[in-house]
Amino acid sequence: MRLTRIYVEHALVSGKGVGLSEQAGLHLSRVLRLEAGTPITLFDGSGGEYAGTLERDGKKFWARVGEHHPVERESALDITLLQGVARGERMDLIVQKATELGVTRIVPVLAERTVVKVDAKQRERKLEHWQAVAIAACEQCGRNRVPMVSTPVTLAEAIAALPAGGMRCLLAADGETSLAAAAAQLRPASVVLLIGPEGGLADAERQFAGTLGFGAYRLGPRILRTETAGLAALAALQCIAGDLST
């Protein structure tokens, strides 16, 4: 029987109780129709997961924390996705599916051709929303470590924050080299994947990324939309790394 998985922001300790958010309680009671005493699985993002039991005190829900299980479902390949911010539900889809595909971190990029305009006040709200999407995806797919989602930044800021080393890839339909072939040859331990927004990256942005170590790679013979390109590339990279073979 597959158990309901719940992410908890606080550190979990076996043998103790932990409060659940109001949102989680409403989902458990009204959507899943779970009752007190139901077994659940808990994780706090620090690694592994805990057996748990759902409890209720009036309208408040909490969980009794049981045994810790050091199970991990992370990919051995460290992938950072620099994603040009897409409109509305497209960006939600990207965050959700990238999480399911094992991405390590997601950096939303405000590129020159980004249609969505995000001011300083909206950045924190966007971050909170996308992080919630990533958490929900972890609960569904079995990951016990939530990928880090950053606030939207410019391309220059995103690249400046990257650590040194690793394979840096700019996905482009006119790239001279195949991403899959290059990754299969290099077998990198870490990859940074740069995907433009709906209108693609501007020429100046491509040149800028190129001067900072990003090679232009193609992925198949067709032009992919921004919400498809990154996910297809992630799947290809994970397949080469062996993550989809276990």
CATH code of 157's domain: 3.40.1280.10
Q: Which of 36, 69, 102 is the last residue of a domain?
A: 69
Whether residue 99 contacts residue 183, with contact meaning beta carbons closer than 8 Å, is answered with no
Prediction pTM value = 0.93
| pLDDT tens digits, 2-12 | 779 999 998 99
Query: How far is residue 78 from each of residues 38, 45, 102, 184, 229, measured CA to CA in Å?
Result: 36, 16, 9, 15, 18
Least confident piece of the model among 6-15, 111-120, 176-185, 231-240: 111-120
The SS3 call for residue 210 is helix
3-class DSSP state of 196: coil
> What is the extent of the structural domain holding 54?
4-69
pLDDT, tens digit, 9 for 90 and up, residues 107-159: 999 999 988 877 777 888 889 999 999 999 999 999 999 999 999 999 999 99
Residue 1's pLDDT is 56
* Domain's final residue, options 22, 52, 69: 69
